[in-house]
C-alpha cells in the first residue's frame, strides 16, 4: 500500500472561454482562455495505490462507481501509471462540493484534484506547470484549476506548450461572482459532445476563434487595470458568442432554460438602474453574475423576486491546489 494523498481543487469560471478542441486526445483547445478560480465550489480527492486491489476502486460522494461510470477516471489513472511507472491499482475517494455536470465546472476541480493526488501518490513530484499539463488531459478546464485567482490557459500546439499560469493571485481588488443555481442536474448534452458538434457544423466557428483570441488580449489588460466594467463587459459578450455557436450548429442546441433568460433579463435591468453587474454562462443553464461585493445586497434582493435565497451563492476569488499526505 502506498501513502494516501489528499488534494483540494477549486472550480474556475471562464471569462474568455474555450469551446472546441483541435486535438481531443491531448485536449488541446482551439483558442486560449482566461478564468477566475472561486472559493465556494471545490473537490476533495484522496488517492492510494494498492498492490492488493485487483481493479481501480472509485468512490464518488460515498457511492462506488460502476466500471462504466468510472471509465474516464480509470483512463486518467492509466496516464498517471504510464508517467510514473506505478503498476498498482488505485483506491480513489472523491467528494464534490459543486453540482456535477450542471455547467458549474465540476470536471475542472475534479480532474485537477485527481491529477494532484494521483500523481503524488504514484511517486511523482510535479511542478505546478507540469501538474497543469497533466490535469488538462482529464478535462481541459482542469488545467486552470491548479491555480488561484485569475488564470490564463495557453492553447499551445502540443502537450508541452498547452498549460495554464496565474495572471493575478491573490486578487487584491473588489470582484466576485454570484452563482445562480437554476438546475443542479446533469445537462442534456455534455460539453465534449457540444464542442464536437459546433466545431464540425457551425459556419461561424472560424470567426469565434479569431474574436476569442482578441478577447484574450483585452481581458489581460482589463485584469491588470482592475477594471470591473471592462472585465464584465468582455466576459458577457464572449459568453453570448459561445452560446450563439450552439444555436448555429447542426442540429442546433442550447443550455438555456426559461429561468436562465429570467436571470439575464434581471442583470440587464439592474445594470440599467446603475448597478455594475454582468452575466456569464458555461455549458449549462446556471448563470454567474460578475459584480463587486458592495453591490451584493442590491443584486440578491432583486433576484429573490424570482429565486429562493439558497439558489444564490456568493463566491470570492479562490486559491490554487492544495496537497496533503495522510
> What average pLDDT does this structure show over 20-40?
97
Topology of the domain covering 5-170+319-325: Ribosomal Protein S5; domain 2 (3.30.230)
Topology of the domain covering 176-315: Alpha-Beta Plaits (3.30.70)
| Sequence ranges of the domains in the chain | 5-170+319-325, 176-315
11, 31, 75, 80, 91 from 4: Cα distances, Å: 23, 36, 20, 15, 9
Long-range contacts of 75-81 (CB under 8 A, 24+ apart): 76/111, 76/114, 76/115, 76/118, 76/137, 76/138, 77/114, 77/118, 79/134, 79/137, 80/115, 80/118, 80/119, 80/122, 80/124, 80/134, 81/122
φ, ψ for residue 11, nearest 5 deg: -70, 160
Residue located via cell numbers 486526445: 25
What confidence score (pLDDT) does residue 84 get? 97
The gap from C-alpha 5 to its chain's centroid, in whole angstroms, comes to 23
Residue 211 pLDDT exceeds 90: yes
> What average pLDDT does this structure show over 207-229?
98
Least confident of 44-53, 183-192, 231-240: 183-192
Residues 6+ apart with CB under 8 A from 200: none
Least confident of 22-36, 73-87, 104-118, 179-193: 179-193
Q: Tell me the per-residue pLDDT of 148-182, one tens digit each, with 9 for 90 and over.
A: 999 999 999 999 999 999 999 999 999 999 999 98
Q: At what angle do helices 228-247 and 205-224 cross, to 10 degrees?
A: 170
Confidence of residue 186 (pLDDT cuts 50, 70, 90): confident
Least confident of 186-195, 260-269, 293-302: 186-195
Amino acid at each position: 500500500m502506498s501513502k494516501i494523498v489528499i488534494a483540494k481543487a477549486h472550480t474556475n469560471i471562464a471569462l474568455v472561454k474555450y469551446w472546441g478542441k483541435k486535438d481531443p486526445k491531448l485536449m488541446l483547445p482551439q483558442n486560449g482562455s482566461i478564468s477566475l478560480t472561486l472559493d465556494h465550489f471545490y473537490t476533495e480527492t484522496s488517492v492510494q495505490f494498492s498492490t492488493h486491489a485487483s481493479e481501480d476502486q472509485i468512490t464518488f460522494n460515498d457511492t462506488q462507481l460502476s466500471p462504466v461510470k468510472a471509465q474516464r477516471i480509470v483512463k486518467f489513472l492509466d496516464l498517471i501509471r504510464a508517467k510514473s511507472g506505478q503498476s498498482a491499482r488505485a483506491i480513489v475517494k472523491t467528494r464534490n462540493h459543486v453540482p456535477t455536470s450542471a455547467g458549474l465546472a465540476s470536471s475542472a476541480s475534479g480532474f485537477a484534484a485527481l491529477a494532484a493526488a494521483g500523481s503524488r501518490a504514484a511517486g511523482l513530484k510535479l511542478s505546478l506547470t507540469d501538474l497543469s499539463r497533466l490535469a488538462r488531459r482529464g478535462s481541459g478546464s482542469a488545467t486552470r484549476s491548479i491555480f488561484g485567482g485569475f488564470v490564463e490557459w495557453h492553447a499551445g500546439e502540443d502537450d508541452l506548450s498547452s498549460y495554464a499560469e496565474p495572471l493575478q493571485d491573490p486578487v487584491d481588488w473588489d470582484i466576485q461572482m454570484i452563482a445562480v443555481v437554476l438546475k443542479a442536474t446533469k445537462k442534456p448534452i455534455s460539453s465534449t459532445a457540444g464542442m464536437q458538434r459546433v466545431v464540425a457544423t457551425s459556419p461561424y466557428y472560424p470567426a469565434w476563434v479569431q474574436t476569442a483570441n482578441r478577447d484574450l488580449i483585452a481581458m489581460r489588460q482589463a485584469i491588470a487595470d482592475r477594471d470591473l466594467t471592462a472585465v464584465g463587459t468582455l466576459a458577457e459578450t464572449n459568453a453570448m458568442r459561445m452560446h450563439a455557436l450552439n444555436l448555429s450548429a447542426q442540429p442546433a442546441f442550447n443550455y438555456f432554460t426559461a429561468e436562465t433568460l429570467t436571470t439575464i433579463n434581471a442583470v440587464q435591468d439592474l445594470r440599467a438602474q446603475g448597478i455594475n453587474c454582468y452575466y456569464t454562462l458555461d455549458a449549462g443553464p446556471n448563470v454567474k453574475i460578475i459584480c463587486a461585493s458592495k453591490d451584493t445586497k442590491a443584486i440578491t434582493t432583486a433576484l429573490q423576486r424570482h429565486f429562493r435565497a439558497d439558489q444564490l451563492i456568493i463566491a470570492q476569488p479562490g486559491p490554487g491546489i492544495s496537497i496533503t499526505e495522510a
